[in-house]
Amino acid sequence: MTEYEDLDEWSPQGPVTELTDAHARALLERHGFGRLAVSVNGQPQIFPVDYHFDGTAIVFRSAPGEKLRDLALNPVVAFEVDDRTADGAWSVVVDGRADILTEAAEVQHAEGLPLPTWIPVAEYTFVRIVPTSIRGRRFQRWMVHGSPQR
Amino acid sequence: MTEYEDLDEWSPQGPVTELTDAHARALLERHGFGRLAVSVNGQPQIFPVDYHFDGTAIVFRSAPGEKLRDLALNPVVAFEVDDRTADGAWSVVVDGRADILTEAAEVQHAEGLPLPTWIPVAEYTFVRIVPTSIRGRRFQRWMVHGSPQR
């Protein structure tokens, strides 16, 4: 076990390491597809979204519907980005508050962000999450017989 | 717009179609890495997990920690699996209740499920989610200039 003494914890799949804040932020900036978790009356919900993170805030577009209704009832959210790697997976979880952008200058700025382009046939709103915490973790598949499992 | 009249809704990125129940279940069965959303006192949290879905229930392992503490406080969860495709993404969201397996026969059955193998150096528990609803959706990137965006 000596070689793993620096690990923070174990998952049932293998060792877990905390990523540095800089590493977690870099992963958020490099990716553009994540998952929003909201909670209304104790019922969690998950929505996949395309987003942009500029180092300060996460911005995504939302059509009118369940997601916006939920955010109006409870703006406290979690946001997650993850990916599989050759030997496991990483995950970055952001806690924060989601606000709908209403000021013209904010909306104009958001229109210029590198979000996926599309023909705007449907109404939409920009939502911004300012993180209160960012936590990144790496999940390593434990090696059995010299090779990573699954 | 005629060719899209059968679509259920639009996302800001393009058309959204509902998947059939059978299709959504098949995607859950075919994949093994998803995200658990829990909610405690209005604060949602997201945890990536390796899981197995046998057509009836989702089973995953959990080490002692935040996730199990949250589930004990509120077993109402959402579970999500998604993937990018050549022209967009799909997402399956399960609502349900998470129960910790305690009966010997249930635990023994769970031990035989095709979850990632590992050297069990850490304590763990099996958690089972019996779905109350399963919803699958396909998000198509809208075509601009004849090719999908991003």
Pairing of strands B33-40, B43-53: antiparallel
Task: Provide CATH code, domain B2-143.
Answer: 2.30.110.10
With beta carbons under 8 A apart, name residues in chain A contacting B2: none
User: Which pLDDT does position A139 carry in this prediction?
Assistant: 86
Nearest chain A Cα distance for residue B124, angstroms: 6
Per-residue pLDDT of B6-44, as tens digits, reads: 445 666 667 788 999 999 999 999 999 999 999 999 999
Domain ranges of chain A: 2-142
Q: Please report which confidence band the pLDDT of residue A138 belongs to, taking 50, 70 and 90 as the band edges.
A: very high
Q: Contact A10/B63, CB-based, under 8 Å?
A: yes
Per-residue model confidence (pLDDT) at position A117: 61
Q: How far is CA B104 from CA A143, B34, B52, B72, B120, in A?
A: 28, 26, 19, 20, 18
Lowest mean pLDDT of A8-12, A86-90, A94-98, B41-45, name the range. Answer: A8-12
ipTM: 0.85
Does B50 contact A150 at a Cβ distance shorter than 8 Å? yes
Q: What is the DSSP letter of A3?
A: G
Asked if B90 contacts B30 with a C-beta cutoff of 8 angstroms, the reply is no
DSSP codes of every residue in B68-106 = HHHHHH--EEEEEEEEEETTEEEEEEEEEEEEE--SHHH
CB A10 within 8 A of CB B122: yes
Task: Inspect the interface and report whether the beta carbons of B144 and A119 lie closer than 8 Å.
Answer: yes
**Distance (Å, rounded) from C-alpha B47 to C-alpha A37?**
11
Tens-digit pLDDT profile for residues B69-90? 999 999 999 999 999 888 888 9
Nearest C-alpha in A relative to B33: A84
Question: How many whole angstroms separate alpha carbon B45 and alpha carbon A78?
Answer: 6
**The token pair that represents A56 in the structure block:** 């300060």
The C-alpha atoms of residue B113 and residue B54 are separated, in whole angstroms, by: 9
Class of domain A2-142: mainly beta
Q: What is the DSSP string of A130-149?
A: EEEEEEEEEEEPPEETTEE-
